[in-house]
Amino acid sequence: MAGKAATTSTTYSPSPTTLKTKAPIFNEDWVRPDGRGFHQCRPAFFRTGAVNAASGSAYAEFGNTKVIVSVFGPRESKKAMMYSDIGRLNCNVSFTTFSTPLRGQGLDNKEYTAMLHKALEGSIMLETFPKTTVDVFALVLESGGSDLPVVISCASLALADAGIMMYDLIASVSVSCLGKNLVIDPILEEESSQDGSLMITCMPSRYEITQLTVTGDWSTPKINEGMQLCLDACAKLAKIMRSCLKEAALGSQE
Amino acid sequence: MVLPNASEDLSTEMEVDAFRRLFPLRYYECHLVESIRPDGRALARARDTTIALGAVASASGSALVKIGSTTMLAAIKMEVMTPTMESPDEGCIAIDFHMPPICSPIVRPGRPAEVAPVVSKQLSDTISSSGMVDLKELSLVSGKAAWMAFLDIYCLDADGAVFDAALLSATAALSHLQIPAVSMNDDGKIVLMSEEDGERLAQEPVNKEKRKLALRSIPFSLTCILYKNYILADPTAEEESIMETQVTIVLDSSSQLISFYKPGGSVLAYTPAIQDCVALTRQRVKELQSILDEANSAMEVE
Amino acid sequence: MVGLSLGEKQFIQGGIAEDIRTDGRKRLTYRPIYVETGVIPQANGSARVRMGATDVIASVKAELGKPSSLQPNKGKVSIHVECSPTAEPAFEGRGGEELSTELSVALQLCLLGGKSGAGAGIDLSSLVVVEGKICWDLYVDGLVVSSDGNLLDALGASIKAALSNTGIPRVHVATGASSDEQPEVDISDEEFLQFDTSAVPVIVTLTKVGRHYIVDATSEEESQMSSAVSISVNRKGNICGITKRGGAGLDPSIILDMISVAKHVSEQLINKLDSEIAAAEAEDES
């Protein structure tokens, strides 16, 4: 992130003796490392109310990807900012030092922060909290692939938990292109050898895309296929998220 | 300052919630007189505590600790370093405490919490001075290679008694730590041993099997609030913000005093009060020790 | 920020709906593009691109580095954009930072391809000198000198031009060094390797105003947008990257429609840009 590679550290983590086969060949009989089907997502687990100190929060776990998102506010805008008749959304995504296989620095991830902001912006009714700010902070506890989509979905759930008015829940899913195959919800291993990726963030009930990123080399039919895969998965994910919210609401009534 | 008379007049006709916000100190005093706290605890009672070991799959040792709603996640990553000239057969533990913006409304990105470095330092001091870990155990090849254990503690939810929870998660993670099996290759680099090449004799195994650290006396702590003549054990964030004087006592498993912090505050601590705190801590140490033992034995069953 | 009166806003929106914009262009017409190469003598390659009042400079600097352990057979490229405070009053102080990050990320997505390097405009494996030991690190810096909309397309074009202007010194590797040592190298002052930039994609940003979308929007038009989609397309007509800006949601079918329009527009843009770059290079050499 900081331009040049990290300064040569005096410590190193021991690497395995036998290097793994370099690039797996994605032919007909290739199976995913965790044995899933190409179009099968990891089981998703969501829970709201993970952090008591926050106005709303959610915890999400997709396989080894674990994130916590806290929402604070609407509260007074800290910076000396101009008057605004719509609310502000402020996001931050950071990683723990132990989230990645190699010990990182736990820095703020500016790229993810900007993406999270854009993905959420379109779904929130900013005019319902003028002059104030809603803070959405995410911490990736463990990174196991598809981190950004999980952060985005989890953040949307946390916003709902905080009672922030939204047009719809936001669900996000990515697909990786490995050779000729499209695999959904890739894990870290798959992401590191992918030829391209496509991430969609959408409001499933409104059938609207709020954020879309594509990298790598894609032909138009492939994009079509990838988008359809993501949209279907988003709809399913949103159902899981909705049922999580319902459960939480029922639990608090009792 | 709040005028006591004004609050007394209002207290009869005001809603409880509003009263709590407007006159927090009066609100607490009303409770303290009855020897109970707003969350239903007795003054000397700590909150429910749970330990879950092995919460982080990518780390060699990890623990998730909850004291009430204060939540800490600690994980250890093992890296190899060249030991210093002064102590060629000793490894090193680097402890870092983080308060990310998710844990509390006070912390914002780019402006780290003031307490984080303080707690960080207290933790390192406590763990190194307790002699809990024998750093010689972290040695691999004398003078050439030794383990550097990076112990990172993240506060996920800050609701008072942050140091107690952080220390508990740190010790729990250390008790869960499995040192990986490694060997030294021809270039003098330490590499992981995978199971299939356990029999290859070309490499000289430095650490044959996964092993745990032999932990000696484990430090446990309890933070108490001193207010007038009351002692409140294991305070919540609300209590900490209203009543300022805190005392943190760290004892080891055999009840020996390791450290004692009283960072200022308006109440002066007299000897009897401190003795009471130590007595409370002694009780708490037994409680925590059994919770930690339970968590460890649960791991072994699995 | 652009302050527009209600009348001006309606004039812009109405014009776009009628397929005649305020400066007389059609919805899918670019402003004239001017390319200058070799504007920064210290850099290995540089170019300046102007589209109307939008003015950007890109420079490429090459340094010898070590490939990452995960990808020993690839060089490294980093793209960084800075918005000069002179370009717009809003960029003063830290104001331009957010936009700078956004542009940098979008350019990385659009030009560098997937993690395995497939679809990258720049062939990373051509940057390797000794596998796992030495490679070229390319530092691509973009500078926004003056901003009048459509910065991403202009920056994309300037980077393409700067790369084709880049000469990388040939490196002679001393033979005979043992396997685990860092080999000695000798950097030539005379021989330069030219980059093949035919695979570098162009970026086409479609800005949605009302029910229609336009290319190469000016700042005034951008202030009226609901969302914008930037699509990078290479010469083969394949998509190398998409990023979306602006908060409002879009129907998936509209996005697919935008992709096909972008492909069509990109053909003309690539040809136009290539001839401009060739002309600029010729002038630079003479």
- Choose among B93, B82, B51: nearest CA to B215: B93
- Give the number of other CB atoms < 10 A from CB of residue A247: 13
Residue A76 touches partner B, C-beta closer than 8 Å = no
> How far apart are alpha carbons C264 and B104 in whole angstroms?
51
Domain contains C152: yes
Q: Is B211 helix (H, G, I), strand (E, B) or coil?
A: strand
Q: Which chain A positions have a beta carbon within 8 Å of B193's beta carbon?
A: 17
Give how far Cα C281 sits from Cα of B210, C143, C162, C231, Å: 63, 20, 10, 27
Q: What is the overall mean pLDDT for chain B?
A: 84
Q: Any idea what the CATH number is for the domain that residue B67 is in? A: 3.30.230.70
C250 and A215 in contact by Cβ < 8 A?
no
Backbone angles phi, psi at A162, to 5 degrees: -80, -5
Report CB contact under 8 Å: A13, B73. no
C139 interfaces chain A, CB cutoff of 8 Å: yes
Q: Is residue C76 part of a domain?
A: yes
Is residue B275 one of the residues assigned to a domain? yes
Query: Which residues, 6 or more positions from A242, have their beta carbon under 8 angstroms from its beta carbon?
Result: A169
Model pLDDT, residue A114: 85
Q: How far apart are CA A50 and CA A30, in angstroms?
A: 38
Measured distance CA(B11)–CA(A207) in Å, rounded? 53
* Strand positions, DSSP E, chain C: 33-37, 45-51, 54-65, 76-83, 128-130, 134-146, 167-173, 185-194, 202-209, 212-215, 227-233, 239-245
Q: Which two tokens stand for residue A76?
A: 């007074």
Chain A residue with the nearest C-alpha to that of B57: A64
Q: Is residue B283 part of a domain?
A: yes
Q: Complex ipTM, two decimals?
A: 0.84
* Mode of pairing for the β-strands spanning B145-157 and C227-233: unpaired
Enumerate the residues of chain A whose CB falls inside 8 A of the CB of residue B57.
64, 142
Residue A155 contacts B, CB cutoff 8 Å: no
Distance from C-alpha of B188 to C-alpha of B183, rounded to nearest angstrom: 9
Interface test mutation site (partner B, options A8, A10, A17, max chain B beta carbons within 10 A): A17
Between strands B182-184 and C185-194, the pairing is unpaired
User: Contact, B55 vs B250, CB < 8 A?
Assistant: no
DSSP A203-236: ETTTTEEEEEEEEEEE-HHHHHHHHHHHHHHHHH
> What does residue B272 show for φ and ψ, rounded to 5 degrees?
-60, -40
pLDDT at B156 over 60: yes
Percent with pLDDT over 90 in chain A: 40
Residue C55 CB burial class (10 angstroms; 0-12, 13-18, ≥19): buried
Q: Are B160 and B58 in contact (CB under 8 A)?
A: no
Q: Which phi and psi angles does B191 have, rounded to 5°?
A: -125, 155
Tell me the pLDDT tens digit for each residue of B163-178: 999 999 999 999 999 8
Q: Do residues B223 and B67 touch, judged by C-beta distance below 8 A? A: no
pTM: predicted TM-score of the whole model, two decimal places = 0.87
pLDDT per residue over B10-35, tens digit each? 556 678 888 888 888 888 888 889 88
Lookup result for tokens 């104030």: A132
CB within 8 Å: C109 and A209 = no
Q: Per the structure, how many domains does chain C have?
A: 1
Q: Nearest CA to B60 among B78, B81, B79?
A: B78
Q: Which two tokens stand for residue A155?
A: 């953040």
Residue whose tokens read 């009048």 = C148
Phi and psi based region of residue B110 (left: phi greater than 0; alpha: psi -120 to 50; beta: remaining): left
A78 vs A16: which has the higher pLDDT:
A78
Answer whether residue B124 is part of any domain: yes
Contacts of C224 (CB under 8 A, 6+ apart): C4, C9, C12, C13, C209, C210
Task: Tell me, rounded to whole angstroms, the distance of Cα B226 from its chain centroid.
Answer: 21
Contacts of C238 in chain A (CB under 8 A): 217-219
Within 8 A of B152 by CB-CB distance, chain A residues are 96-98, 106
Instruction: Please name the residues in contact with B92: beta carbons below 8 A apart, sequence gap of 6 or more.
Output: B81, B83, B135, B138, B146, B147, B148, B149
In a domain, C2, yes or no: no
The pLDDT tens digits for B63-86 are 999 999 999 999 999 888 888 888
Indicate whether C233 belongs to any domain.
Answer: yes
User: To the nearest whole angstrom, how far is the Cα of A124 from the nearest Cα of chain C?
Assistant: 10
The Cα A27–Cα C150 span in angstroms is: 41
Contact criterion met (CB below 8 Å) for A223 and C241:
no
Task: Provide the percentage of residues in chain A whose pLDDT is more than 70.
Answer: 86
C79 within domain boundaries: yes
Name the domain count of chain B.
Answer: 1
Count Cβ–Cβ pairs < 8 Å, chain A vs chain C. Answer: 121
Domain around B68: 40-193+202-301
Long-range Cβ contact pairs of B283-287 (< 8 A, separation 24 or more): B284/B46, B284/B220, B284/B222, B284/B233, B284/B234, B285/B220, B285/B222, B285/B251, B285/B252, B285/B253, B285/B255, B287/B46, B287/B49
- Smallest CA–CA distance, residue A89 to chain B, in Å, is 14
Residue C16 inside a domain? The answer is yes
A69 shares contact with chain B (CB less than 8 Å): yes
pLDDT digits (tens, 9 = 90+) for A17-59: 544 444 556 666 678 888 888 888 999 999 998 898 899 999 9
Q: Is A46 helix (H, G, I), strand (E, B) or coil?
A: strand
Closest residue on chain B to A71 (Cα): B102
- Distance set, CA A194 to CA A36, A62, A188, B18, C113 (Å): 17, 19, 10, 57, 10
Nearest CA in chain A to B61: A98
Residue in A67, A61, A29 with CA at minimum distance from that of residue A42: A61
Query: Does B63 reside within a domain?
Result: yes
Q: 3-state DSSP call for residue C277?
A: helix
Give the three-class secondary structure for B233: strand
pLDDT score recorded for residue B2: 44
Is A46 at the interface with chain B, CB within 8 A? no
| A10 to B182: CB separation less than 8 angstroms, yes or no | no
Asked if B79 and A12 come within 8 Å (Cβ–Cβ), the reply is: yes
Provide the token pair at C131: 């596998």
Residue in C with minimal Cα distance to A167: C249
Give the model's pLDDT for residue B125.
92
Please answer whether residues C199 and C123 qualify as being in contact, where contact means their C-beta atoms are separated by less than 8 angstroms. Answer: yes
Which domains are assigned to chain A?
Answer: 44-253 (3.30.230.70)
- Cα distance between residue A71 and residue C202, in whole Å: 39
User: In CATH, what number is assigned to the domain containing residue C129?
Assistant: 3.30.230.70
CA dihedral (C186, C187, C188, C191) positive or negative: positive
- With beta carbons less than 8 A apart as the criterion, state whether C214 and C207 touch: yes
Q: Does C113 touch chain A (CB under 8 A)?
A: yes
Determine which helix (DSSP H) or strand (DSSP E) holds B288, and give its type and residue range.
Answer: helix B271-301
Q: Which residue of C has its CA nearest to A168?
A: C249
Could you say which DSSP state residue B111 is in? Answer: B
Task: Report CB contact under 8 Å: A177, C229.
Answer: no
- B284/B167 Cα distance (integer angstroms): 14
Beta bridge pairs of residue A73: none
Across residues A213-232, what is the average pLDDT?
89
pLDDT tens, position by position, C174-207: 765 555 566 677 777 777 777 777 788 889 999 9
pLDDT of res. B289: 92
Could you give phi then psi for residue C135, rounded to 5 degrees? Answer: -150, 170
Instruction: Give the SS3 label for residue A71.
Output: strand
Rg (CA), chain A: 19
CB within 8 A of C158, min separation 6: which ones? Answer: C35, C47, C48, C49, C56, C57, C58, C142
Residue C140, domain member (yes or no): yes
* CB-based contact, C167 to chain A, within 8 Å: no
Which among A11, A52, A99 has the least Cβ separation from residue B81? A11
Indicate the helix (H) or strand (E) that contains B6: helix B4-11
- Residue C252 forms contact with A (CB below 8 Å): yes
Q: What is the mean pLDDT of residues A162-185?
A: 90
Taking 70 as the pLDDT cut, the residues of chain C under it are 1-2, 70, 113-121, 175-183, 246-247, 286
Q: Is C194 inside any structural domain?
A: yes
Which residues, 6 or more positions from B107, have their beta carbon under 8 angstroms from its beta carbon?
B99, B100, B101, B113
pLDDT digits (tens, 9 = 90+) for B200-222: 444 556 666 677 888 888 999 99
CA C285 to the chain's CA centroid: 24
Q: Which residues in B lie closer than 8 A to residue A56 (C-beta atoms)? A: none
CA distance B151 to chain A (A): 9
DSSP, res B69: T
> Does C124 lie at the interface with A, CB-CB under 8 angstroms?
no
Cis peptide before A74 (omega within 30 of 0): yes
* Pick among B48, B58, B155 to test the A interface (most A CBs inside 10 A): B58
